[in-house]
Amino acid sequence: MVSPSKQYRINIDSALLAFSVLCKLGAGKVDTFANRLKSQKIQYLAQVFGVSPAYNFSLYIHGPYSPDLAHDLFTFNGANQSPDMSDFVPDVLKERFKKLSEFIKGKTLKQLELITTLHFLKRLSYSSDEARKKLKEWKRASLDEVNESFAELKKIP
């Protein structure tokens, strides 16, 4: 177990809950770049769906990124943390968790990157036209990928 005396930017219980959510969704690993990226995107969406504690995110080359989340994931992975998943989701969060799980199911890493980047841009008050242009430019997304990302964005609460 990670010592409670470790310095966390969010409460250790909140960090452990976020890590547990990621593990339950098949993420939370830091052994490869793709796994770290996947964990970042799924944590971002978990916050949007109201399932996980909030980390601060900034927009980076691969979409929303939280240095604090990265720190916590490396800490938990380095301590070989393995949260007990048997009775993990409180009843009040089960429906939100189910919606999030269904939303991310089968999505590629690129799709997660495009959707989270688009969501972040919309939070920054980019117009739809500006956001489309940025996705095409920054992410080299095709018109179909951009349109698909906008369609998926409508499914997010």
pTM, entire model: 0.72
Walk along the chain (157 residues) and give the pLDDT tens digit of each residue: 344 434 445 677 788 889 988 998 999 999 999 999 999 999 999 999 998 999 999 999 999 999 999 999 998 888 766 665 555 555 557 788 889 999 999 999 999 999 999 999 999 999 999 999 999 999 999 999 999 999 999 999 8
User: Which are the contacts of 123, defined by CB distance < 8 A and separation ≥ 6?
Assistant: none
Domain boundaries, the chain: 12-153
d(C-alpha 32, C-alpha 27), whole Å: 11
Whether the CA torsion 140, 32, 155, 119 is positive or negative: it is negative
Q: How far apart are CA 59 and CA 44, in angstroms?
A: 11
